[in-house]
Chain A
Amino acid sequence: MTRELLKGNVAIGEAAIRAGVQAYFGYPITPQTELLEYMAWRMADLGRVFLQAESEIAAINMVYGAACTGARVMTSSSSPGFSLMQEGLSYIAASDVPAVVVDMMRGGPGLGNILPSQGDYFQVTRSAGHGDYRPIVLAPASVQEAIDLTMLAFDLADRYRHVVILAADGQIGQMMEPAELPPMQPLTAAPPWALRGAQGRAPNRISSLYMHAESAEAANRRIQSRLSQIRQYEQRSLEYATEDAELLVTGYGTAGRIALSAVQAAREQGLKVGLLRPLTLFPFPEERLSVLADRVQACLVVEMNAGQMLDDVRLAVGGQIPVEFYGRMGGVVPMPDELLTVISRMYRRVAAPA
């Protein structure tokens, strides 16, 4: 395999193709439009389905319909467009069908701007739609991770028959980095539950409508049992220099990779600082964080929002150690030097008091 210089949006598109995506439905919005554009010509070349819908609402419902056939399907959007998909996402989750959705987050709230942001953390991890469920959420920090996590997204979606959201930001979508693509995988066979014509067998039925409270509660129990398995088996995170860390920094995606530069610089100054970078936002890597919380003196959460993953960190740490927060909002990306200043100040205060 050779390394290529790939733009994040294009890399995700090609990774999805190599994972065997059979249908893509979408609507343009910066900063993810290159993904839609790439799929427009590549899917047609391969004889697979590409459809530019009339809106994000239409696109997510096309994803729902295509997912019911058991094919690997996806859509992509950015924050305001992703908001429009909420109802459809909930129907997909309630119907136990797999789907992959990319949210290339941009500055908000409102129309906001097209700059990188992590302001959708609550939206993607809490439900991404009404009702009682959570999607699986993956957070890449580089073009290579965007490829690897796109491949994983399709596998997890199929394994759990669940919605998987790839939550990245404009910087990851627009940036080019060297990365390696996996080989093309064969298309997956239709699973037994798929709706593809029932000649010669009893019909399958897929629905999210439950007329009676008891049957709706049974459906909810099924979803919750799936989520509890996901919590048990799918927590993922990466670490740097946590072995002897006094201060633990944690952040995901772009904020996480910039935090890594700051943590490396802090180590060069002799500060015992480590980094935990979640790869899964749901399930949040609470087990690992809980173990680390027993060892460190304090934790600093870094995000490109007003403090959202901060809640999950506090839940995982459970009041054992002080948790502080540093964030930039509205499309501002923190710089490594800026984070280093925050880290050194906090370190002096809580980890190595004079």
Chain B
Amino acid sequence: MQDSFLFSGFGGQGVMFAGQLLAYAGMDAGYHVTWIPSYGPEMRGGTAHCFVILSDQAIGSPVLPRPAVALVFNQPSYEKYAGQVAPGGLLVFNSSLITADQSPSVPTLAIPATATAHGLGDARLMNMVMLSALLTVRPVLPVSALEAALAAHLPAHRRSLLAANVQALAAGAALAREAWLSPA
């Protein structure tokens, strides 16, 4: 088994942390994992991304030309990566901020993640909504593994956010089930 994930969005949308949480959950489940960020001019403003690989074998390259899964949080990321997902893959996009104007060759999952996060009281929960939506339709790991990883690895000064993040994971999973089981 090897699965690869590209997370992309504006700085501040929680791109890096969403990727790290998946990597932590993968590590805790016993997989080999790599996480690597874009560390160029992007991190000084604009769109940033990170790449995560989960594998049951040692990982050679931590970056691949085409990810199996792309999670895109904003319009520029959608433009750049919607057509890049590998065959058999999945595109998850934040439909609150993205106008889907392409026809990618892979299944897509539209999640109104920013609106949902606003509804939960904090726009910053958007990344958790997206991540649990992904694992709901592509269950490489159970969503509960993300909850456990949050509890195990969230730094002490962020502990107060645990309950809200868990709530966001539940909301993302519910949205994904709804969107996936009743296609438009």
Contacts and interface: CB of A to CB of B under 8 A. Distances in A.
B40 A333 contact: no
Contact of B61 (A5, A264, A333): A333
Interface stretch (B30-38, B105-113, B127-135, B166-174): B30-38
A3 interface: yes
B88 interface: no
Interface in A131-175: 170-171, 174-175
A174 B40 contact: no
B33 A175 contact: no
Interface residues on chain A, size class:
20 to 34
Interface string B36-71: 110110000000000000000111111111000000
B23 interface: yes
A261 interface: yes
A113 B41 CA distance: 11
B166 to A, nearest CB: 20
A177 interface: yes
A177 B39 contact: no
B62 A335 contact: no
B61 A261 contact: yes
A178 B31 CA distance: 9
Interface residues of B, number: 22
Interface in B63-103: 63-65
B60 A176 contact: no
B148 interface: no
A174 B48 CA distance: 14
B20 interface: yes
Contacts of A178: 27, 32-33
A175 B34 contact: yes
B10 interface: no
Given A175-B34, A176-B23, A177-B34, A258 B60 contact: yes
Interface of B: 20, 23-24, 27, 32-37, 39-40, 57-65, 153
Given A174-B39, A264-B60, 20 more contacts: A5-B27, A5-B35, A30-B39, A114-B39, A175-B34, A176-B20, A177-B34, A177-B35, A178-B27, A178-B32, A178-B33, A258-B61, A261-B59, A261-B61, A262-B60, A333-B61, A333-B63, A335-B61, A336-B64, A337-B65
5 contacts: A5-B35, A30-B39, A175-B34, A257-B60, A336-B64
Sorted from nearest, which 8 A-B pairs have the closest CB atoms? A261-B60, A176-B35, A175-B36, A178-B27, A258-B61, A258-B60, A174-B39, A336-B60
